[in-house]
Amino acid sequence: MGEILTALAGWMAQEEWRLLIERTNAGLTLACCMGTKSGKPIGRSPADLLNLGIGERAVMKEKSIRTAAREVGIAEFVLLLRLLSLGAQHVGRSLAVSATAAKARVGEEALQRHVAALTASQGVEGGGTHLLAASAP
């Protein structure tokens, strides 16, 4: 009698495992049809991008990175990386304020290393020296 119950419990476990795999595969197929891998949207949400833009403009208006990040509800580091990335992309344009704000936050040497790495990876000549020179106080 015990052997029959053990066999029945084993069969039930195998069937439950099979159903679980079917449900998982159905969910992954549905997510793939919706354009994602896990069901979550890929990339930042439009609200996050909007907040980043608002934070960038606040820093351009001479606000500190900390204050701007708190006002829009994003992490300081996220805003800082965005500003550094923008500064590296727009070398020679009027984004020296972002480098000044970043320099005050992370220090001169760290900023030089980061901007040099960003500009080198994007193929900008000068390794970010134009940006750093334009932002010197």
Tens place of pLDDT for every residue, the chain, 137 residues? 889 999 999 999 999 999 999 999 998 888 888 777 776 666 666 667 777 777 777 777 777 878 888 888 888 888 778 777 766 554 444 445 455 555 555 555 665 666 666 666 555 554 444 444 444 44
Range of the domain at 124: 46-134
In a domain, 40, yes or no: no
Domain for residue 117, yes or no? yes
Compute how many other C-beta atoms are within 10 angstroms of the C-beta atom of residue 53: 12
Whether 127 is covered by a domain: the verdict is yes
Report the first-to-last Cα separation within the chain, whole angstroms: 88
Asked if the structure places residue 11 within a domain, the reply is no
pLDDT of 134 reads 42
Residue 14 lies in a domain: no
Give the CA dihedral 57, 62, 68, 69, nearest 10 degrees: 90
For residue 16, is it within any domain? Answer: no
- The answer to whether residue 100 is domain-embedded is yes
Q: Does 105 reside within a domain?
A: yes
